[in-house]
Amino acid sequence: MIAVVDYGSGNLHSVTKAFEAIGGEVRIASTAADLEEAERIVLPGVGSFAEGMRNLRQSGLVEALAEQVLVRRKPFLGVCLGMQMLADEGSEDGAHAGLGWIRGRVVAMTPPDRGLKIPHMGWNDVAPSAGAREFFAGLPAKTAFYFAHSYHLIDAAPGSVAATTDYGGAVVAAVRQDNIFATQFHPEKSQHIGLLMLRNFAHWKPAPRPAGGVSA
């Protein structure tokens, strides 16, 4: 069962429908018990970093998410704002602490080319790293996904960057660490390509963490 977290800042309908389209059993999760029953967890998100973190904390689910994802190591997918909130901090509407699951900061996009509009909205090619091939399995070598964001992740640990896109320079498009995978783009809005990625996530079996260390 795939739990889609409801904390008041997520695009629940489109994410739920996308997983249902690939035959997934999906439930909206708003309590710790919902997360306990889930086999996989999805944290969607739209809007500002500050509002998203405030809503997530007010939902009372932060500790439950940490227990299920970081301790019990259930496969986890973050989408758009759901990826950004994994970072150490975000600068949207002031400085705000994130979950701190992924190293890095979320800052405003400032492409050097003034002709590039902000927000970065629309289709853009994504280049996966060698360590993220399992999420892009069955997809064309050059694949475009749908983006809609004005802020992006910087200072990420090199080993956690799962994919990049080019928007006046390299932009982190996805991160991966242990049992955590997250995308800046929207797989649920990326038509059949996005559904293929969600299918890959639904069948993903993260490798066990090496004894005495943390994999990247």
SS (HEC) of 71-121: HCCCCEEEECHHHHCCCCEECCCCCEECCCCCCCEEEECCCCCCCCCCCEE
> Which range (115-119, 125-129, 209-213) has the least confidence?
209-213
Interhelix angle for 191-202 vs 12-21, to 10°? 80
> Can you tell me whether residue 210 is helix, strand or coil?
coil
Give the Cβ contact number of residue 126 at 10 Å.
27
Instruction: Report the amino acid identity of residue 11.
Output: N
**CB under 8 Å to 43, separation ≥6 — which residues?**
5, 10, 65, 76, 77, 78, 79, 82, 85, 182
Contacts of 126 (CB under 8 A, 6+ apart): 143, 144, 145, 163, 164, 165, 173, 174, 185
Q: Where are the domains positioned within the chain?
A: 2-202
Q: Which residues of 190-204 are buried (b: 16+ CB within 10 A; e: fewer)?
A: beebbbbbbbbbbee
Q: Which residues, in sequence order, are bridge partners of residue 78?
A: 43, 182
How far is the C-alpha of 35 from the C-alpha of 28, rounded, in Å? 9
50-105 per-position pLDDT tens digit: 999 999 999 999 999 999 999 999 999 999 999 999 999 999 888 999 999 999 99
Q: Which of 149, 186, 192, 203 is catalytic?
A: 186
Catalytic residue list contains 25? no
pLDDT on residue 213: 45
Give this prediction's pTM.
0.93
**161: nearest Cα among 66, 61, 83, 48:** 83
Sheet holding 105-108, edge to edge: 96-97, 89-90, 105-108, 151-154
36 pairs with which residues across the strands?
Answer: none
CB 137 within 8 A of CB 200: yes
| Catalytic residue flag (residue 134) | no
- Averaged over 33-59, what is the pLDDT? 94
Q: Is 186 a catalytic residue?
A: yes
Res. 209: pLDDT tops 80? no
**Contact (Cβ atoms closer than 8 angstroms) between residue 120 and residue 196:** no
Q: Is 163's pLDDT higher than 50?
A: yes
Specify whether domain 2-202 bears CATH 3.40.50.880. Answer: yes
The one catalytic residue in 80, 92, 149, 152 is: 80
Residue 10: pLDDT band (50, 70, 90) is confident
Q: Which of 120, 188, 192, 203 is catalytic?
A: 188
Instruction: Determine if the peptide bond prior to 119 is cis (ω within 30°).
Output: yes
